[in-house]
Chains A and B, each alone.
Chain A
Amino acid sequence: MTMIRGNIINDIFKYRNFIISAIKVEFYSKYKRSKMGMLWMVIHPFMQVLVYALVLSAILQAKLPGIGGQYAYAIYLMSGIVAWTMFSDIFSRLLTVFIDNGNLLKKVHFPRIVLPMIIIGVAIVNFLLMLISMFIIFAVLGHVSIEYLFWMPVLIFVTLINAIGFGLFFGVLNIFVRDIGQIMTIVLQFWFWLTPIVYSIDMLPASYQQIFTLNPMTGVVMGYQSILAYNSSPDINILIYPLITGLTMFFLAIFVYNKGNHEMADVL
């Protein structure tokens, strides 16, 4: 733990009020000039889930082995998307967080780690709103899966540690080598399709399945699908690998953050 300098945690604690109010500001300012205001925060995820549920079940009538019913595929798809959305939100925003706030970083002294914390906080709020929308719509559609929800904190933790690890690592490098931001945006698109979100890993040839599990997000997304779509407990074995990848990237990210911290302002 020597790599995490004690002051990162202290800084976060000391600035917790600011982080919380900045998260509020983010939502507040986004909807402030609209008549319905904060209601949009709920309407957006709700409509997104509704569109998937209706289009996929009524129009495309996609079927999936393992879960019965008209809405099976919609439910499966949403389970993966909710996890991926949080991951890619955090990843893509951490990539540019220091660049976007360059002017502030050069003008006001405050711990830089505060900025990623705001992004993570916003993404978690969005995730929870979408999850709740899902539960409501699924329940209306007759699918209730709450038995294994106690696994959710574990899955969220593994998702976050990967998102922060990859995002912060490349976000710090991106300050110095700006191409990284461009490359990672493309990588993120491929990454989505290399993760079994719209398809199921069982649909792939056995030899490919092995390769696909090298992607840490495969295990994470399958975990969400187990809980939310299949109503079963996630396979621990497929979560260990993402946990290790996530922790490795996280510590690597902290390492480059500490290294780059003093040089950031020079190039921003």
Chain B
Amino acid sequence: MKDVLIVNNISKIYYSYKSETRRVLSWFNLIKKPKIGRKVLTDISFSILPGEIIGVVGSNGAGKSSLLKIITETLYQTSGNVVVNGSISAILELGMGFHPELSGRQNAINTAELMGYSISRGDVSISDIENFADIGEYFDLPVRSYSSGMQVRLAFSVATAFKPDLLIIDEALSVGDAAFQRKCFRKIEEFQKKGTAVLFVSHDIETIKRICSKAIFIKNGELIEFGQTKKVCDMYEKEVISASVPLNIEIDENTAHNSYGDNRALISNVFLHNFARSSKFLNINEVFSINFNVEFLENVVENVGYSIMIKTKEGISIFGTDTEKLQNKDFRGFSGDQKKVSFLITNYLAPGTYYVNCAIYQTNNGVKNFLNRKIDVMDFNVDLSNTSTVVHGLVDLNASVTVEGIIK
């Protein structure tokens, strides 16, 4: 298959000149090229196939937006090149280019034309836009009277009124309400099935894990990782959650992947205990415990807590809790102390395989600093048992049903 997007060694340097006059003079070759540059992107390369949904993650200022702007050609790269095979549609900011005095309908027409499509030629159907936006009579009222959610609805409807080969979405969607977000994701999936590639930037890791097949992690303008979503997102989460620990991809992949923290305490011997049987298989409604041992290597005298998290194979968090929530008190430990932590849980999970994270943390001004956190340290299975009521989904809500004839 032919790549929809090929990004080839993109670098972006913002040059500053001693004075802007010198920049202008440099166009006429009157003085030499500049000299001070601020590099925001360094040798970024990746490519996207039709139908792929790629998530882009990275902290603020990592270069995500610059990269997207270069792909959409609103910003120009210093070196490297971008090849796009097909049409691009981008939602970089809500309400971009909307004229506040004009109605949604007129703005839709203008924006479509600004993107190079024509309503009159029939490239785009205005009634499709109206239906998808679903903002009722507001469609014919001035955009200045819109809420931000309505603006996003309109912007998304216009941007997806035609099927682009590459759809770029930057954060914007997070403004819309949940129902509209689902509608947007359905639309994205529909496009994807027809071969549209999607580049999706969000700080919402769960969404990225849910919809993206691959992800890109950008840090300080460099592409740190491009690959399977879960792996990339774990790497990013580790980076964000524990900013104090520098990410070092040189060290052993397995240990780096699974464990991090400032190591003032260490977690060991993580195991699952189900009281009836000793196996990793659980039944619905069965009570089980997640246990681990902690050894303190230093004195940590205040605000210590313990936490666990249960996730799906795809990395979507299903349930997480901590001692702060359950016991409403802080713990502490002194060098050499050993603790045994046991979380008691009732299983309402649907049949499948699940992964467990566990952690010991210290809270500073509401921010959790991990002493040690182990990711995917253990997995367990929930059996497809007779007592299960699940057909679809992640949880077992213990359903029952009755069907009776109605007597006329």
Query: Chain A: residues with CB nearer than 8 A to chain B?
Result: 14-15, 17-18, 21-22, 25, 28-29, 32-33, 104-110, 173, 176-177, 255-256, 259-263, 265-267
Could you list 5 further interchain pairs (A-B, Cβ under 8 angstroms) beyond the known A15-B114, A32-B101, A261-B76?
Answer: A17-B120, A25-B99, A108-B114, A176-B24, A260-B27
- The interface stretch among B67-75, B173-181, B309-317 is B67-75
Q: Which 5 A-B pairs have the closest CB atoms?
A: A259-B27, A18-B113, A262-B76, A29-B101, A176-B20
Distance between Cα atoms of A18 and B14 in the complex (Å)? 32
Distance between Cα atoms of A112 and B258 in the complex (Å)? 49
Chain A residues with Cβ below 8 Å from B15 are 266
A265 with B75, Cβ < 8 A, contacts A15-B113, A15-B116, A21-B109 known: yes
Select from chain A the residue with minimum beta-carbon distance to B88: A109
Chain A residues with Cβ below 8 Å from B92 are 107-108
Select from chain B the residue with minimum beta-carbon distance to A101: B97
A105 with B74, Cβ < 8 A, contacts A14-B116, A25-B110 known: yes
Q: Mark B100-123, 1 if CB is under 8 A from A, else 0.
A: 011000100110011110101000
B240 CB within 8 Å of chain A: no
Chain B residues with Cβ below 8 Å from A266 are 14-15, 75-76
Select from chain B the residue with minimum beta-carbon distance to A262: B76
Chain B residues with Cβ below 8 Å from A265 are 69, 74-76
6 contacts between A and B (CB under 8 A): A21-B109, A25-B102, A107-B74, A108-B90, A108-B115, A266-B15
B231 CB within 8 Å of chain A: no
Distance between Cα atoms of A21 and B69 in the complex (Å)? 26
Query: A180 to chain B: closest CB distance in Å?
Result: 9
Chain A residues with Cβ below 8 Å from B203 are none
Chain A residues with Cβ below 8 Å from B27 are 255-256, 259-260
State whether B110 touches A21 (Cβ < 8 A). yes
Chain B residues with Cβ below 8 Å from A17 are 113, 118, 120
B21, B69, B118: the one within 8 Å of A106 (CB): B69
A107 with B110, Cβ < 8 A, contacts A14-B116, A177-B24, A263-B23 known: no
Query: A8 to chain B: closest CB distance in Å?
Result: 16
State whether A108 touches B101 (Cβ < 8 A). no
Which has the most chain B C-beta neighbours within 10 Å: A33, A176, A259, A261? A176
Query: B81 to chain A: closest CB distance in Å?
Result: 13
Query: B266 to chain A: closest CB distance in Å?
Result: 48
State whether B110 touches A18 (Cβ < 8 A). yes
Q: Mark B16-33, 1 if CB is under 8 A from A, else 0.
A: 000011011001000000
State whether B90 touches A29 (Cβ < 8 A). no
State whether B99 touches A29 (Cβ < 8 A). yes
B206 CB within 8 Å of chain A: no
Distance between Cα atoms of A38 and B69 in the complex (Å)? 38
Select from chain A the residue with minimum beta-carbon distance to B92: A107
State whether A33 touches B101 (Cβ < 8 A). yes
Chain A residues with Cβ below 8 Å from B73 are 109
Query: A254 to chain B: closest CB distance in Å?
Result: 12
Distance between Cα atoms of A15 and B109 in the complex (Å)? 13
Distance between Cα atoms of A110 and B101 in the complex (Å)? 22
B96 CB within 8 Å of chain A: yes
Chain A residues with Cβ below 8 Å from B109 are 21
A110 with B114, Cβ < 8 A, contacts A25-B102, A29-B102, A176-B20 known: yes
B93 CB within 8 Å of chain A: yes
State whether A104 touches B75 (Cβ < 8 A). no
A177 with B20, Cβ < 8 A, contacts A256-B27, A260-B27 known: yes
Distance between Cα atoms of A106 and B92 in the complex (Å)? 9
Chain B residues with Cβ below 8 Å from A263 are 23, 76
Chain A residues with Cβ below 8 Å from B106 are 25
Query: A122 to chain B: closest CB distance in Å?
Result: 14
Select from chain B the residue with minimum beta-carbon distance to A178: B20
A110 with B96, Cβ < 8 A, contacts A177-B20, A265-B69 known: no
Distance between Cα atoms of A108 and B75 in the complex (Å)? 10
Chain A residues with Cβ below 8 Å from B101 are 29, 32-33
Chain A residues with Cβ below 8 Å from B115 are 108, 110
Select from chain A the residue with minimum beta-carbon distance to B26: A259
State whether A108 touches B96 (Cβ < 8 A). yes
B24, B72, B102, B114: the one within 8 Å of A173 (CB): B24
State whether A109 touches B72 (Cβ < 8 A). yes
Chain A residues with Cβ below 8 Å from B93 are 107
Distance between Cα atoms of A147 and B27 in the complex (Å)? 47
Distance between Cα atoms of A22 and B97 in the complex (Å)? 11
Query: B129 to chain A: closest CB distance in Å?
Result: 16
Distance between Cα atoms of A29 and B98 in the complex (Å)? 12
Which has the most chain A C-beta neighbours within 10 Å: B27, B101, B118? B27
Chain B residues with Cβ below 8 Å from A173 are 24
Query: A239 to chain B: closest CB distance in Å?
Result: 29
Query: A117 to chain B: closest CB distance in Å?
Result: 13
Distance between Cα atoms of A110 and B115 in the complex (Å)? 7
Distance between Cα atoms of A161 and B289 in the complex (Å)? 81
Select from chain B the residue with minimum beta-carbon distance to A173: B24
Query: A214 to chain B: closest CB distance in Å?
Result: 24
Chain B residues with Cβ below 8 Å from A106 are 69, 74-75
Interface residues of B in 1-24 (CB under 8 A from A): 14-15, 20-21, 23-24
Distance between Cα atoms of A145 and B361 in the complex (Å)? 89
Which has the most chain A C-beta neighbours within 10 Å: B24, B73, B96? B24
